[in-house]
Structure 1
Amino acid sequence: MQRVLWARARPRIAPLQWIGHRFRSGPKPSKKPKPSPSHHSSGPPSFQQKKWDKKPNNRAPTVSPDAFPFLEGTTVSAQAVLTFFQSNVLAWTLRRTVQDRLVGFGVPAGDAKKLLAAFAHAADTGFFDTTEAVEKYDLLKLRGTDSMEVDVTFSHIFFRWLAAQDSVRGVDAATTTALVRLAEAATVMHPAEEHLLARSMRRKFIMHVGPTNSGKTHHALRALAAAKVGVYAGPLRLLAYEIWERLNLGQIVPLGATEEQTAEATKFGPSTDNPFARRCNMVTGEERKMVGVGADVLVSCTVEMLQIGLHADVAVIDEIQMIGDPQRGSGWTHAVLGLCAKEIHLCGEETAVPLIRELLKETGDEIIVNRYERLTPLEVEQDSLDGDLSRVQKGDCIVAFSRSAIFALKRQVEMQTGMRCAVVYGKLPPEIRSEQAALFNDPDSGYDVLIGSDAIGMGLNLKIRRVIFESVWKFDGKRDTLLSVSQMKQIAGRAGRFGMHGADEKPGGFVTTLKVEDLPILRKTLALQVPPLLYARIAPPGPMFAGLASRLPANATTESIFLASMHAGLCPPYCRPNIPDQLSTVCDYMDQLGHFTLPDKVFIMQAPFPWRDRTALETINTFIGTYYQSMNVDLVPILERLGYMEMLENAEAAMKSPEGRGTTGRRFKPSNELPGLETFHKILVAYMWLSFRNPVSYSAQDQTMELKERLEHTLHWCLQEMTRIDGKNSVHVQSKRAPIVFKTPREMQLEAQQLGASEAQKRTVSAELLSAPI
């Protein structure tokens, strides 16, 4: 079916075929050795650097972006940073990508080489050798870098140096002036001052920090449940969904509740009639679930959808350590600096505390830090499974890092143990991940083992007794890399979750590995401390891009505009710019089509399109192409033309057939069809994202919701059908979930109109529920 779908999709996207070719004929991954274990040792940080000959007649060898040396340590001395800078600055100036970037900023090729040569000469002759220079030119930002970050940091140092020069020999003064003006347009030295509403109030921050399974988020959510007006913001739709569900069903005991009140609420169980139930709306980029309107309605959302200007009594920002994430960290920085809430609870790792203190020095807000210890013990087992999956036990979770590995493990465990396995991985829709988790947690479902990816590390309450690492290495798109200390701790910490063990079980969790050679690495890594975060991420303000475009050549590429914001703009010592994912791919896409305005380009850059899924991307290209042709994107005809409706109908027919045969009469094979159905779900989610921002052109919102529900039901059935015990189909199991009655934003608007709601109420619905911050 997938081959048929791909064949049908290609002929209908002739103007956009280059995208498909790009993904099919991209550079082949090079075979490179695994990083040395010394990179992850507990000893002092080492410099990952090459020796370059600084003689003018000896050019440094070409260095690929992912091979450039970097300085991994976060506690490196200033002298060590200076040594690293001096050893690598010449190699950086000789890189073709650096020269090409300056040319893209409008610098003549000859002048670009002269400017970079002058910069390298200044470093070679001692310009940066003093303590004052190290501080003034922000050389310490080289600490804690990777290959991409070191490029950005060298560029920042270069632009600071250039601004301090009266002239550069042999270079036209107009060239240097233009570059300095470009840097000024891209600079954000006081990000807190962009949030004037938040600066007009005195806020109180309460940080809840500790390891996984320490109860830190639980304490924050209790404060939220007791608030009149409040908001929760997390990193995943899955987390937003879980908190929305728990608040509406009264599963969070509000702060200040008495023992008698708690005992009375327990009698109700999870229910909207529970005395502790709070009406809570859910707002994510792709979905809205509206339970009510009014001052006492809470909101659960993803960080990117947080309305920072909406005044609240209590706000909870989860996984605060993601403030340092290169792609998404600016969402957390935006929340910390701009959220208009009296009391803001930040939940996450201890590593974020020094950085948050640094950010709040600029805002003058109060901060309290509450530290928590793990509620149940976590023990690393003496032995690995030595590759023997027959030793898997009830309550185990095996963690793997590829979809193929997850399903291979599922088949082997079911064959060797007779136990059924639920699965959780990143490409599954959040609703399906939640359903699979519920099956694993239900002692009566028959699903006794969980096979999952690192997606188990966030957003799911799981009754895991033991975590088994299938591997401690993960492919990062270029090579296998060792999991970080934070990643291993986050995943291992899911074992032995407090309050989720049986009455006859001793509290606590266990962790081990499938392979013998991985166990010493796991034991050593879990004993390490996670290094503190050094930098918060910031994103350029929307208006900045217009200013940058005006200072670049008229024919500048889209990538040059975004690169200018990253490489030319200066920021505080404790901040770094966001690094957009797939930047080159997205910018090439926009430039090839050629009809995007600058606001369009910023809009597309922020869209959560699946750039790595070529099949889904082809359909999204069709959406956008249709929009520019007719301004009206009718969903179903496009899906029918590309074969997706046939795919869904084939699966639904197989669900109803006793023999599992689809509309083609052939036996339906869930393992073959599941990837296509997952892609279909991504397409629907992308359409929902577009429809919330442009409901006139993307008007099939109701149809999309209906298709999404049908598809999720089908996906759940496929996963059940893929469970085999003794060659027989699995027993169909319905998870036990309490219903929550909700409405879509459109239904809320219609209801308000039918009831003759006041204009003030209508404005509340429109402003608070339907807004989609970009």
Structure 2
Amino acid sequence: MNLSPAKIAIDQALQETSLSLTPQEEPRLLKLVARNLQPDTNHITAATFIKLLCIIRRKEWAKRLNRQIQQENKPWIQSEDIAWAVSFVHEPEPSEDALQSALQQALHTRLRQNGKSPIDCFQTLYTDLIDSGKPIIGTKALRLMAQDVAIAFGLESNDTEQFIEEIVYQEQKQQQKDQEIQQTARDRKRDEIKKQKEWESSLVSFKEIPPLLHCSHKEVLRWIAENKIPVAQKIKKHGKEIWRFDPKEIKALRSQISNWRDGTPAKDKKNAYINLGDLNIKNKVIASVAAMDRYAGHFVTARSLKRRITIVTGPTNSGKSYTALKTMAESESGIALAPLRLLAHEFKEALSERNIAASLKTGEERQLIPNSRFLAATVEMCPMDNPVDVALIDEAQMLTDPDRGAAWTAAIMGVPARHVYVLGSPECIPIVKNIARLCDDPWEEISLQRKSALQTASSPIGINRLQAGDALIAFSRREVLDLRAILMQKGHSVAVIYGALSPEVRRAEAKRFNDGQADILIATDAIGMGLNLSIKRIIFSTIYKFDGTSRRMLTSQEVKQIGGRAGRYGKHETGTVGLLAGAGDPDFIRRQLEAPPEEQKDLRPLVQPDSAIVQLIANEINSDSLFGVLTRLKRAVLRSDDPNYRLAPMEETFAIASALEGVQGLELRDRWTYSVCPVDDRDNGIQRLIRWAADHASGKTIAAPSTGKLPSPSNASRQELERAEKRHKRLVAWRWLSLRFPDIYPDLEAAEKTTRELNDWIESVLRQQRRKNEL
């Protein structure tokens, strides 16, 4: 039997080194040796053989170290620490001590990069672990982690022990504080629920009102219609609507009866709007205004204007924004509202190109230009007080979004503009018309057509047939990065866009793609709104997505919104939308693109309270509990079958409000501010927010989250990239709070500098075009 040169070389090396191979190692080693043999030779040196054998065995060494870490409960030791450690081992049969020594060297090197001091390093490391769902459990593990940090920074023995004891003491103190907050929250929630039930049991039916007011049933009906008698609760029972009233409020109205009967004209119901800034408002009008079943009346300035609404609809690439911006640029003042901070920046730049200096206002950013009468902002930041000539509200199909739809309702109803342009896909038309009806605003409709042709690919597109100008669509961060690794291995330069990236990084990646530095873009549906991208073909890698609840097929609106990004006007005459080979039914994309607009089943706009409404309800129920206010709102204020409005789900707001019940010393309006802070509970966002709020209540200042010393982008692993993205989220929440509580969250400028550095690092990592195993 003829042996291959590689086999001969291995047999000779084994004799020279007295080493042995397992059956699993030999096939892999043959391939490595074959690649390293000089032409027409069948021999390698012992040193080269040992080096190649170590490469083969590193995977098994990593498994051994990983098992030991799990047994010892040391989650702060990361997979990249292990990978780095085994790369330093050059002995083919290392002892356990040698492997442990290499691991300690790798770990301590990373820890020194994780902070400027031992305490800074520990806090960053500890926060990263909690945010990744790997909390330190038990004092023993806490001591071991603190000891590793102390050793990494070279603390002396006495200093190490003092450092460990201080860490343990502070953590035990924090845990005790957390438990006290949680217990207080449980107690207060129980009391508020009890109060709610007692109030509900005290309510009386309609037939009991005439005796209480010494009047007739007919008079009661008329006064209810005139908003003089508040209905405390409306419920459906056996198909009938039942009204219930608070007897205390009813008895307090007795002194008004004679005035009502004197013929004092009732306010016109349509224009009976109340200034909610007056917190001395009488309880009797709470049910009709603060209670939100007259929600349009909350926006006093808008209701005082003679507004008209223009609904501009059309597919992506039809010029909707251009139409509205042109009119705004010709006016004396205007507001441009966008769904994303990135798009608000684009509106500001678009106005600047028309020689209009516009201010910028987003949740975490302010760029105010003195005397400017134009503003670009995110929808949630819509100003409701100062009238302007023209307003633009983009992506109105977001009205039906459970999480953010209420912000679009408030913006369309409340923007104080004489001419309101509402832009969106055709699906938004019925609900926008309904909002116009509720506001008693006249409306008109403009329908635009796509400026460049859009076609579907005739057949599925194989991954080897991707071309420059293609955008591959996935629906999770993991899928995006997996596809990135595959395409880079095939020699493509790749840009990526997904939701966890900041607007600045998304824009930088878009620029790389548009400039040709990256020939292929891989993105989630984060590209569906905004970002001017020079895409020739959109290719879906899947026809399914997880929407937070279940894995489902893409809707026609999603396919149109994303697919419409293909064929940017002025760059490509035709855009193509296709499906990656093996991703599903080839005709699915064509059917969804050709489908008529999806019919909305419920045209009632979503609404939610603001701080003024929250305060009014609190006054009404005589409570300083945010949880109590929101419970009353949900159970009694706006019934589920209200004919005009739907209460937004507000699950996260309820969760934060519930947890905040345990924080003593914060005013109601401050607790409301915390409850709407943008956090992600998947990254421990609510618990961190409650800790910040507790420090706020104690009068402590809260330092901006640290990023530690970031490793070289060229060596960054996928895990390090994810940690950086989570750190960015923490900074976003901190900066958002800093704009609202500058004395408690000081030095915003330093936090913005840290954010820029973190964004630059993330973009540098994504710009790396060589393939790493971790990526």
TM-score range, shorter chain: 0.5 to 0.7
Match of 1:566 among 634, 640, 652: 634
CA distance in 2, matches of 1:228, 1:213: 28
Counterpart position of 1:538: 607
Match of 1:650 among 688, 710, 718: 710
CA distance in 2, matches of 1:14, 1:451: 45
CA distance in 1, matches of 2:239, 2:663: 36
1:233 positional shift: 0.5
- Cα 1:228–1:544 change in 2 (3 A) is closer
- Residue identity matched to 2:710: N
- Cα 1:374–1:710 change in 2 (3 A) is same
SS in 2 for 1:222: helix
Contact kept? 1:106, 1:553, Cα under 8 Å: no
1:631 positional shift: 3.7
Contact kept? 2:315, 2:450, Cα under 8 Å: yes
Deviation sequence 1:306-343 (CA, Å, 0-9, x none): 11222212211111122222222222222222222122
Counterpart position of 1:589: 659
SS in 2 for 1:540: coil
- Residue identity matched to 1:509: T
- Where does 1:161-172 land on structure 2 (aligned, <5 Å)? 161=240, 163-164=242-243
Counterpart position of 1:247: 351
- Where does 1:5-154 land on structure 2 (aligned, <5 Å)? 8-9=126-127, 106-107=196-197
Counterpart position of 1:487: 558
1:362 positional shift: 3.7
Contact kept? 1:182, 1:551, Cα under 8 Å: yes
- Residue identity matched to 1:397: A
- Cα 1:709–1:216 change in 2 (3 A) is same
Match of 1:349 among 418, 425, 429: 425
- Cα 1:540–1:626 change in 2 (3 A) is closer
CA distance in 1, matches of 2:560, 2:194: 43
1:356 positional shift: 2.2
1:200 aligns with 2:304: yes
SS in 1 for 2:710: helix
Counterpart position of 2:756: 709
1:363 aligns with 2:439: yes
Counterpart position of 2:14: none
Match of 2:335 among 231, 252, 260: 231
- Cα 1:313–1:400 change in 2 (3 A) is same
- Residue identity matched to 1:193: G
Counterpart position of 2:499: 426
Counterpart position of 1:322: 398
Counterpart position of 2:361: 283
- Residue identity matched to 2:308: K
1:610 positional shift: 2.6
SS in 1 for 2:535: coil
CA distance in 1, matches of 2:441, 2:428: 16
CA distance in 2, matches of 1:210, 1:684: 37
CA distance in 2, matches of 1:473, 1:499: 31
- Cα 1:470–1:303 change in 2 (3 A) is same
1:465 aligns with 2:543: no
- Residue identity matched to 2:692: F
CA distance in 2, matches of 1:553, 1:195: 24
CA distance in 1, matches of 2:621, 2:77: 44
Counterpart position of 1:754: none
CA distance in 2, matches of 1:601, 1:627: 11
Identity percentage over the alignment? 27
Counterpart position of 1:600: 670
- Residue identity matched to 1:349: S
- Residue identity matched to 1:700: D
- Where does 1:165-184 land on structure 2 (aligned, <5 Å)? none
Deviates more, 1:604-613 or 1:236-245: 604-613
1:421 positional shift: 0.9
1:448 positional shift: 0.7
SS in 1 for 2:755: helix
- Cα 1:617–1:557 change in 2 (3 A) is closer
1:510 positional shift: 2.6
- Residue identity matched to 2:550: R
Contact kept? 2:567, 2:575, Cα under 8 Å: yes
- Residue identity matched to 1:679: K
CA distance in 2, matches of 1:331, 1:515: 39
Contact kept? 1:623, 1:633, Cα under 8 Å: yes
Contact kept? 1:324, 1:535, Cα under 8 Å: no
- Cα 1:286–1:507 change in 2 (3 A) is same
User: Greater relative contact order (Cα 8 A, min sep 6): structure 1 or 2?
Assistant: 1
Counterpart position of 2:482: 408
Contact kept? 1:205, 1:345, Cα under 8 Å: yes
1:708 positional shift: 1.5
Question: TM-score, normalised to structure 1's length?
Answer: 0.63
1:376 aligns with 2:455: no
Please list every run of 5 or more consecutive structure 2 residues that lacks an aligned counterpart in the other structure.
1-75, 79-121, 128-135, 137-166, 180-189, 206-224, 226-232, 252-283
Contact kept? 2:546, 2:552, Cα under 8 Å: yes
Match of 1:527 among 594, 608, 618: 594
CA distance in 2, matches of 1:456, 1:678: 18
SS in 1 for 2:197: coil
1:440 aligns with 2:558: no
Counterpart position of 2:414: 338
CA distance in 1, matches of 2:610, 2:377: 22
Match of 1:718 among 765, 771, 775: 765
- Residue identity matched to 1:293: P
Deviation sequence 1:494-542 (CA, Å, 0-9, x none): 11121232xxxx4333332443424333333332223344121112253
Counterpart position of 1:214: 318
- Residue identity matched to 1:627: H
CA distance in 1, matches of 2:361, 2:385: 15
- Residue identity matched to 1:468: I
1:189 aligns with 2:293: yes
CA distance in 1, matches of 2:509, 2:598: 34
- Residue identity matched to 1:346: V
Counterpart position of 2:370: 293
- Cα 1:728–1:600 change in 2 (3 A) is closer
Contact kept? 1:229, 1:298, Cα under 8 Å: yes
1:370 positional shift: 0.5
- Residue identity matched to 1:436: E
- Cα 1:165–1:458 change in 2 (3 A) is closer
CA distance in 2, matches of 1:389, 1:581: 40
Deviation sequence 1:683-739 (CA, Å, 0-9, x none): 222222112112222221111121122111111111112x226x7999xxxxxxxxx
Deviation sequence 1:629-671 (CA, Å, 0-9, x none): 3342233xxx4xxxx342xx233xx25xxxx5xxxxxxx4242
- Residue identity matched to 2:327: A
- Where does 1:659-678 land on structure 2 (aligned, <5 Å)? 668-678=715-725
SS in 2 for 1:299: strand
Contact kept? 1:468, 1:514, Cα under 8 Å: no
- Residue identity matched to 2:400: G
Contact kept? 2:536, 2:575, Cα under 8 Å: yes
Contact kept? 1:233, 1:240, Cα under 8 Å: yes
1:438 positional shift: 0.7
- Where does 1:616-695 land on structure 2 (aligned, <5 Å)? 619-635=688-704, 639=705, 644-646=706-708, 649-651=709-711, 654=712, 668-695=715-742
Please list every run of 5 or more consecutive structure 1 residues that lacks an aligned counterpart in the other structure.
22-99, 116-135, 137-153, 168-172, 175-179, 251-275, 661-667, 731-774
CA distance in 2, matches of 1:703, 1:368: 48
CA distance in 1, matches of 2:655, 2:607: 22
Contact kept? 2:293, 2:645, Cα under 8 Å: no
1:399 aligns with 2:483: no
CA distance in 1, matches of 2:383, 2:653: 26
